[in-house]
Amino acid sequence: MDRVVNVSLNTVQNGKFMIRTLDELSLDSIYISNPAAINQLISCGARTTPDEPFVELPQDDAWFYMNAITNAISPICARDYIFADMDQPTISKWYRFALTFEKDSIKGRKFRVILVSEELLEKIATMNKPILESVGHTGRWNLLVEMSKKYRKPELLFVGPQILQRIQLTIAVNQHGSNTLP
């Protein structure tokens, strides 16, 4: 089983569904060389199926696993969090992520952190299916539809316990609204 975690932003822009890789991390870097945690996570990943790719984490350890992922994602915005703390212009948005292990192809067999805005999770229920940037994105779109169902039913946020972890991401902007700063 692959020991890589792909972190991707899943978004719809101008009617087109797109997936953008933000980072690829090793399990060792996320779980700070904790072999017991990594082995347990690999076992959880092995139990996923093509129809149910969400990684079901042990109830007692779910927070530990998801918090470590939150800590791995947060550095994307490290400088921007400091700008916000200094009362400099920033914009923020709330996201949810799920941990999956998709087994639909040999090349795609890896842990994935599926990051999607809460705003999009709300809209999915009522929007028309977007144009897919790639025909290979059908499975991912279907996964987002499932995430949206869980998001809109609070009792499903913790199923099995599958967690749609919440994270706020922030970027600094200049007075013109651009995120290009000196």
pLDDT in tens, the chain (182 residues): 578 999 999 999 999 999 999 999 999 999 997 999 999 999 999 999 988 899 999 988 999 999 999 999 999 999 999 999 999 999 999 999 999 998 766 666 789 999 999 999 999 989 999 999 999 899 999 999 999 988 887 665 555 555 788 899 999 998 665 565 54
Q: What is the pTM of this model?
A: 0.88
Residues 6+ apart with CB under 8 A from 79: 172
CA pseudo-torsion sign 52, 116, 31, 110: positive
**Whole-angstrom distance, CA of residue 162 vs CA of residue 57:** 7
pLDDT tens for each residue of 129-166: 999 999 989 999 999 999 998 888 766 555 555 578 88
**Whole-angstrom distance, CA of residue 135 vs CA of residue 149:** 23
**Whole-angstrom distance, CA of residue 178 vs CA of residue 182:** 11
